[in-house]
Chain A
Amino acid sequence: MAASIAIRLIFFILLFGCVFAFEDDFHEELLVKPMKNGQVYTSFQFTTTWNVSVEDEKSFEHYHLFSKSLGEVLSHYSVQELHLSLTQGLWHYEKWGYPVHDAPPGAELWVWFRPGTENIDQTWTDLINVLSGMFCASLNFLDHRSVVTPHLAFRPTGVTPSHHQRLFAKNIRYATLPNENVCTENMTPWKKLLPCGARAGLTSLLNAYKVYDTSYHSLGVHFRPICMSDDCSVHGVELVQSLAAVFDPTLTSRSQDWSLKKLFARTMSSSCPVASSSIAMVDLSSNFSSPFTLDPLPSREEIALRGRIKVRYAVYEIRDFARNQRVFNLAAKYKSEMSFSANEPPVVHAQRFQTGYGQAKGGVMSLLYNHHPKENIIVNYLEVIPWFCRVYLHTLKIESFDKTVHDISANGTIRKPMHFHYVPGKDRQRPYHLELLLDLPPNSVTRLSFEFDRALLKWTEYPPDANHGFYIGSAVISTVVRTAKHINDTSESFFLRLHTETLLITLPTPDFSMPYNVICLACTVVAIAFGSIHNLTTRQLIGGISCGENAVLV
């Protein structure tokens, strides 16, 4: 009796005694990369890590820094990994290199579901509806007509479950919405997921009027389970929210100088109080060709080694500035006005365009470039073609040319893919899914092409602006490259994902303004025909015999 009271007391004391320690962490960082052609690439990254396992549903009820609205959704729909991006504009790889998070124009969503999830297709449908309400995007259109299960292209980026491997292998779904608009109404709910308010830290720079006045801007939400300890015995989850924008300060001013105030029309005067680190980095690679000086001076300089390339970064600790109550307005002053030079293209990039003419047939052609002088690069090429472009697989042609050859309409070396995965589409049920593993020879251009037939849709399937056309989403190229310019990673090889252009194709479209005219025309023809046949069949035809001049009717 006494022992149980004692145990109860101890329990009590322990409960009262322990101070509630938080298990999550928030970091924010900004990367500014001035490019040789005068444009400035800025990339925000807000990372929240939380020390709970993604399989533990009970912990997804009490939240601190991790957003409750997103956490509930991820837990309720048994999501292992989620990657959503909303982008407007096309990323020009040849001019700008590689971005931090690659995203195609429009909306892209790929989700890995936890092993043991029942009825993944229904869960996917529910999830896209919830996300469409959450991010004010029309993600509910990503239904069975546009979703595929990629074979090799979108492997998990986080920790995968050690058991149930076979149950897990097909739990991925991928879909894109290439014509999705991105505007302030998408940024508003995205901002609400951040633990810090709009007035403190890097979030205060996010001015929609300036960010959406750019040629490329992209919002991203990436969720994955991660290792919290070195031996990966303890798992946690990580949520990365990213925003990228490519500004063009030379459009509105005579000099190449830029500053945070000029780009965002805002400055930072405080740092986020709940952030454990808040840094800004400037990529100094273009300092050689068009030198500039930074003001204020950086807290330190770091060198990141990626493969064999050294990249120098100027790093600023924003909290030091906030503590001294200084306004943080990072500015760069260029020594000479408007000194541009061309960027050299990166190692791997691609282009895609339509071929053909008319409204019955068409074709798609992709050019994959490998600029590496010595090495072959193996790439995975994923194409998702909507069902109304009926692909003919036998027209698939893959040829390689030397990079110096300019006429690519000639015949090159025919290549066979190393691995081939094709799921033909079904009208109104699933799209065409083509995945190839290609070996790109060094210093070459590989041309990949195939043809399709354009379908005539039913009258109700046309959107209200049918004459605009229909979209084919970007092709995705995934590869591992030995040398690439990227951030803060010292490994020898890096994973790279590229997206090509989206294609806008015109399908045969009826003239919707004419339904009543058509009815009248058709009815007139039918009536005339009917009238004549009716007369012929119901009148008695009596012949007359003519005798001489007087015609007599008998």
Chain B
Amino acid sequence: MEGPKVSYRCNVRQYFNEEMLTYKEATTLSSFDDALEELKLLKENGKYTFVLIPEGEVVDPGDRGYIGRHRSAFLRSSKDLASLVSKISGVMREIFAAEKVIAKAWNTAVGAVHQQADKDSMRALQSQPNGYEITFTLLNPQPSHVRASWNIQEATKRYLSPLLSALHDYTNIKVKSQYLHSTNIGVRPKVDQVGGYALNIDQLPHIINPIEAFLGSHVSNNPNLNFILYIPLRDQSPLFIYNQNGEKVASNAFLSPRWGGFLVHNVRVEENASLPVDVQIDERPVMQVFAAQLRLLLGVSPLHHGLAVEEAPAGNAVITDWELDLWLRSHCLENLASSVATLNSLAQLLEKIGNIVINDDIGREVERAVEQIQISHTALSQGQLRDAYLSSRQAKQFSEKAFFDPSLLELLYFPEDQKFAIYIPLFLPIGIPVVMSVLQSLKYLRKKNKQKME
């Protein structure tokens, strides 16, 4: 299967009057960007705008250019058309369409014989048609020391709802939370130079394992992303994470690919305070870390493009519009690649292993999957990203259902010699007299023929 081929359609136009008005009112590039977005009647996935602004204006994007939070990029117009065009095509191909990223998504989903270690494809969760679960855990192994509480329900509503509602139509994300008092991290931190405690980078991989026993959901098979806020023990406070160069990590957090994130939250307790101390955790700094980790784990990862261009940070929106498009595009291709691979392997399997019986239901699922793949292909080629993604999701669901149908079980393997051994005791004794009498009757017929001839 070859990789995806991307084609572009573009047109050039003058500004509209309303756009000119907003331009005149705008004071900063980001407010101009937001105002332009408001003017759009239709916010379509897959359509991008490049705004060329003359030099020296209030909202001059500068030499490098600026990519807004929606689907627009702002470039300084110049007489040098060649460099302008190359900049536009660079931004389009590396950032908005991110051809390399989607090609990689396709290739990994198709599957190679031996996968090499690759950070980006290993970090994010694979595309899951049924959705994800996100669990926030407050891990407080010593509740007699610190009685910590956080209003995580409100915090997720306030800070994560832009992301959740942006992805709401495309995937099903459930957010849950819990407190854990009954376990601790699996490593013992060492004392560091400044009187605190240190977790080195080679201790980090072993932290999660004892906690894992208390995580996980019994009601769904969807992948679970766990975000743990850890309050260190009284005699291990304050606790900091150090990187491989021996420096303190500013965020005091790390993430584990395809699993979740871990953040250490140090609580200052006065010397002679009465235990347990009631602590209300400020959710904003915590959510800043978790939201950044969530972006990486869901696949809204930073692009490694070499272009010198300024990108507007996602901020409160947690995911920008063009990042959402990129997510849709790469996940759509991932779904399509894996559906095609699944159907191919189903066909191959049924050829190789002759004993499997296929029901009509499975045939129908396969037909439906193929239909959805074709719909998705056509939608993609017309740039209708949303429909393409939804069809690809259905295609993946149908193909997985067909492949993993419980009835496809070939247990009736009988080795040849066993089959032989079972039939011989019956057919051999019965066969002998039959064969003898057949021979006899042949002899008789021959004799009769000879007699006739004579």
Contact = CB atoms under 8 A, between A and B. Distances in A.
Do the two chains touch directly in the complex (Cβ atoms below 8 Å apart)?
yes
B219 A524 contact: no
Interface in B105-158: 135, 141-144, 149-154
Given A62-B152, A72-B218, A198 B437 contact: no
Contact of A531 (B149, B216, B421, B433): B433
A527 B429 contact: yes
A273 B153 contact: no
A273 B177 contact: no
B178 A68 contact: yes
A130 B177 CA distance: 21
Given A195-B182, A197-B182, A523 B425 contact: yes
Given A63-B179, A194-B182, A196-B182, A535 B433 contact: yes
Contacts of B219: 72-73, 76-77, 130
A530 interface: yes
A63 B217 CA distance: 13
Contacts of A270: 144
A52 B135 CA distance: 20
Given A61-B174, A197-B141, A526 B183 contact: no
A64 B429 contact: no
A273 B150 CA distance: 18
A520 B425 contact: yes
B178 A63 contact: yes
Interface in A49-91: 61-65, 68-69, 72-73, 76-77
Interface of A is mostly: helix
B430 A68 contact: no
Contacts of A197: 141, 181-183
B149 to A, nearest CB: 5
Contact of B430 (A69, A73, A134, A530): A530
Given A65-B179, A192-B214, A524-B425, A534 B174 contact: no
B188 to A, nearest CB: 16
A265 interface: no
Q: Which of A65, A68, A528 has its CB near the most chain B CB atoms (within 10 A)?
A: A68
B422 interface: yes
Contacts of B175: 61
B357 interface: no
Contacts of B141: 197
Contacts of A519: 422, 425-426
Nearest to B429: A527
Contacts of B193: none
A526 to B, nearest CB: 7
Nearest to A199: B182
Contacts of A535: 433
Given A531-B433, A538-B437, A69 B177 contact: no
B276 interface: yes
A15 B437 CA distance: 101
B316 to A, nearest CB: 15
B177 A63 contact: yes
A19 B135 CA distance: 22
B428 to A, nearest CB: 8
Contacts of B81: none
Q: Which of A72, A192, A526 has its CB near the most chain B CB atoms (within 10 A)?
A: A72
B447 interface: no
25 contacts: A15-B154, A20-B149, A20-B151, A61-B174, A61-B177, A62-B178, A64-B178, A65-B179, A68-B135, A69-B218, A72-B218, A73-B218, A77-B219, A130-B218, A192-B182, A192-B214, A195-B181, A197-B141, A200-B144, A273-B142, A273-B276, A523-B425, A523-B426, A524-B429, A531-B429
Given A61-B176, A519-B425, 12 more contacts: A19-B280, A22-B149, A62-B152, A62-B153, A62-B178, A69-B216, A69-B217, A523-B429, A527-B429, A530-B429, A534-B433, A535-B433
Interface of A: 15, 19-20, 22, 61-65, 68-69, 72-73, 76-77, 130, 133-134, 192, 194-198, 200, 270, 273-274, 516, 519-520, 523-524, 526-528, 530-531, 534-535, 538
Interface of B: 135, 141-144, 149-154, 174-179, 181-183, 213-214, 216-219, 276, 280, 421-422, 425-426, 428-430, 432-434, 437
